Amino acid sequence: MQFFADLHIHGPYSRGTSKYTTFEKLEYSARQKGLGLLGTGDFTNPDWLDEIKKLNYLEDRGLLVSGTGFHFMLTVEISNVYRDDSGRLRKVHQVVLAPSFEVVDQIRNELSKFGNLELDGRPTLNLPLPDSVEILHQISKDIEVFPAHAWTPWFGVFGSKSGFDSLKDAYQDQLRHIHALETGLSSDPPMNWRLSELDRINLVSFSDAHSYWPWRIGREATIFDTDLDYWRIIKAIRTGRGLVGTVEVDPSYGKYHWDGHRKCNVFMPPKDAVKLGNTCPVCHKKLTLGVAHRVEDLADRPEGYKPKDARPFYEVLPLSVLIANYYNTDASTKRVQDLYSRLLELGNEFHVLFNSSIAELTEKVDSKLADLIIKNRNGELRVQPGYDGVYGRLVFDGNIKESSGF
């Protein structure tokens, strides 16, 4: 069976997240979106774990299920913050997947030795990357670990601020246990294809959602063709067999795509930043070097390179974001939500984004909005790139829309 999965989300106990997140709200948005599987997020946090344990555990499939039949997988994002052998400070986020509560309890017991699990749903651990992978695999060979939002400046494994120049440098002798890499909002598969080192790594995409809204849940997702079974899904992540492709946003929309300095409202492509010595022309401080810059620094292949066995990917912005930008308002407004609900009469959001015809769309909404949905599907939208923590913005008829809805 084929399904969309989002395995990187957060509950209400992580920093910078909605405190109103519940599993009921997560499931509601996931169903609206068209997801078939959602990560629990934050299983190391004791308060959120109490909520997770209210779901029913399916021992034969290694997944959880709600009372209404929606499936979840035990997941968490961890923050490895440590000084390497050279004394350099490293800060890297990883996603961890687990098959059972028994394994989760063992993970929590081991990780609690390196940080306080109660402070944050995304625990900060004074633990080198190779050591963390080794510890987790000593607990269970069924645990899966991979770098989260691999290119972002501050906490990506390749990030310009505290990351590495190669996965080999990052994971050392434990690299053999790294099978996947999360592209993140600011990169897409073509950017990652430019690194030959990643040829053996399977690319996955998930939302890193900090709230339960449908424009955040599943804004990036991975398409699997397996049974809803933990071990079959892990096998797909490890081998690529059963991994169909990914749903991505235009990487320009990510908030770390270009180089820039938010305080000075300065942003630019990598080639212009290099000409300025990577310094802000206003305050003369160092620019935050974005994902596009890091890809150029590390790539050993030209732009446009495509592997022979490359999987398909689909770049679309969330439906609520399109509606919000069209009406120059916020995605949470009643107007946007009413139109969103009207469009969902055609099917879930992924169906609307990928399959609904222009005739079906114009029966539900304004013809110009319907045309926008089709342009989104066809990759015909213009985006002013994001930078230094600022999301990219859509450009309509030469006008930049201030309200992204993201």
Residuewise pLDDT in 10s, the chain (406 residues): 899 999 999 999 999 999 999 999 999 999 999 999 999 999 999 999 999 999 999 999 999 999 999 999 999 999 999 999 999 999 999 999 999 999 999 999 999 999 999 999 999 999 999 999 999 999 999 999 999 999 999 999 999 999 999 999 999 999 999 999 999 999 999 999 999 999 999 999 999 999 999 999 999 999 999 999 999 999 999 999 999 999 999 999 999 999 999 999 999 999 999 999 999 999 999 999 999 999 999 999 999 999 999 999 999 999 999 999 999 999 999 999 999 999 999 999 999 999 999 999 999 999 999 999 999 999 999 999 999 999 999 997 766 665 455 6
Return the closest-CA partner of residue 64 out of 101, 12, 24. Answer: 101
Topology of the domain comprising 2-252: TIM Barrel (3.20.20)
Neighbours of 223 (CB within 10 A): 22
Return the closest-CA partner of residue 342 out of 352, 328, 327. Answer: 352
Alpha helices for 301-380 (secondary structure H): 319-326, 334-343, 349-354, 358-362, 367-377
Domain range list for the chain: 2-252, 318-380
Rounded Cα–Cα distance for residues 95 and 219 (Å): 17
97, two tokens:
């997947």
Strand partners, 395: 382, 400
Q: Looking at the whole model, is its pTM more than 0.85?
A: yes
Return the closest-CA partner of residue 348 out of 130, 34, 8. Answer: 34
**Cα–Cα separations (whole angstroms), residue 248 to 113, 318, 350:** 36, 10, 12
What is the per-residue DSSP string for 157-176? TT-TTT--S-HHHHHGGGGG
State the DSSP H helix or E strand holding residue 239, giving kind and residue range, or none if neither: helix 230-239
